[in-house]
């Protein structure tokens, strides 16, 4: 991970929660669904980051 990016406590909690769900799931269909949810969240985050980067810096307030 990039040294300048810090996860919040809530984000670390959500990662742990997802990891535990994966660790305790033995049903292949449920694992498949979790993987799809993760992929959707990842791609949505990438799209949001790209959109923000295209917006450029905000105008200076005077």
- Matching residue, tokens 């990842």: 42
What is the reported pLDDT for 16? 96
In degrees rounded to 5, what are phi and psi of residue 3?
A: -60, -20
User: What is the spatial distance between Cα 44 and Cα 38, in angstroms, rounded to a whole number?
Assistant: 10
* Per-residue pLDDT tens digits for 1-43: 556 889 999 999 999 998 998 899 999 999 999 899 989 999 9
Does any domain span residue 62?
no
Does any domain span residue 47?
yes
CB within 8 Å of 15: residues ≥ 6 apart: 7
What is the reported pLDDT for 8? 95
What is the reported pLDDT for 32? 92
What is the reported pLDDT for 19? 92
Q: Can you give the residue range of the structural domain that contains 30?
A: 9-55
- The predicted model gives 38-51 an average pLDDT of 94
What is the reported pLDDT for 2? 56
Does any domain span residue 29?
yes
Torsion of CA 29, 38, 10, 25, to 10 degrees: 20
Does any domain span residue 45?
yes
């Amino acid at each position: 991970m990039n040294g300048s990016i810090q996860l919040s406590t809530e984000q670390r909690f959500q990662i742990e929660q997802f990891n535990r769900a994966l660790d305790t799931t033995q049903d292949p269909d449920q694992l498949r669904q979790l993987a799809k949810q993760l992929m959707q969240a990842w791609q949505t985050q990438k799209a949001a980051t790209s959109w923000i980067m295209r917006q450029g810096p905000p105008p200076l307030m005077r």
